[in-house]
Structure 1
């Protein structure tokens, strides 16, 4: 097969160790939440450009707490910023890892599918008379097209 990018095995022991590591990560971050799409869209985002703004705002609030209403929780703001800063490198690492896992999965899935297509094509050509007809037909169902629904014409 041409251009095989990944040739590896993942033992069940290693897969289980990775799954346990993921479980450990979840256990060490028990405060993680799951936002709905609507909730996520509604929130103001703290990105790279806004990090300096938030740091300066914290500094101003820390040095001048008198102008803030009593209901403003400066310690909670500080804690949120500290947690964000602590999570940021974790998020970057997990994003990179997730990208690598996704790319690898796509590549090996593509390689497996390409190999399956080759088997199918070889079996169609060379498998006649070898008792493979029913298996080739079974594989060929993957490519069967569904009849398009005829839409009634309106006059």
Structure 2
């Protein structure tokens, strides 16, 4: 029998509250942007190691503005670093929550799938004797049909 790691329900009210909280978070951060995959790939990579680097570089720039070219906008650098530092704890909290949502979704889905496979096996066994589940089994069986690579037809 399947291992039961999660035993919960999500009521309509809980789902509405969660979606409202996410909408509120989205509304609280109206400056958030979307990047295409191409845009993201064309940008300099940024991660935790680079976060510390930009904070230290800002300190140098603020303490020695005379070394900077006129084309470097120190106020824009400061604003970007402040935004990164402000978003950092939010990003970590959202990542942690998303990780828990993903893990719960995966566990519940895995448990449901393992149980569904058992139902499918029992239904096939029952159908051999009665033939009563032929149509339902055909529908479920489509999940396992393979396509011929050359013709694209089911094998």
CA shift for structure 1 position 140 = 2.5
> Alpha-carbon deviation of 1:147?
4.3
RMSD, aligned α-carbons: 2.1
Confirm whether residue 138 of structure 1 aligns to residue 135 of structure 2. no
Q: 1:142 to 1:72 in 2, by over 3 A?
A: closer
Q: Deviations over 1:82-126 (max 9, x none)?
A: 110110111111112112211211221121111111111111113
2:36 aligns with 36
Q: In 1, distance between residues paired with 2:119 and 2:94?
A: 37
Q: Which has the greater radius of gyration?
A: 1
List aligned pairs for 1:2-151, cutoff 5 A.
Answer: 2-127=2-127, 128-129=129-130, 131-147=132-148, 149=150
Q: What's the CA shift for 1:72?
A: 2.7
Shift of 1:11: 0.4
Alignment gaps of 5+ in structure 1: 151-155
TM-score, length-normalised on structure 1? 0.83
- Pair 147,63 (structure 1): closer, same or farther in 2 beyond 3 Å: closer
Bigger mean CA deviation after superposition, 94-103 or 59-68: 59-68
The CA distance in 1 between the partners of 2:88 and 2:149, in whole Å, is 50
Match of 1:153 in 2: none
Large movers: runs of 4+ above 6 Å: none
CA pair 44-139 structure 1, distance change in 2 beyond 3 A:
closer
Which stretch shows the higher mean deviation, 46-55 or 18-27?
Answer: 46-55
* TM-score, reference length from structure 2: 0.83
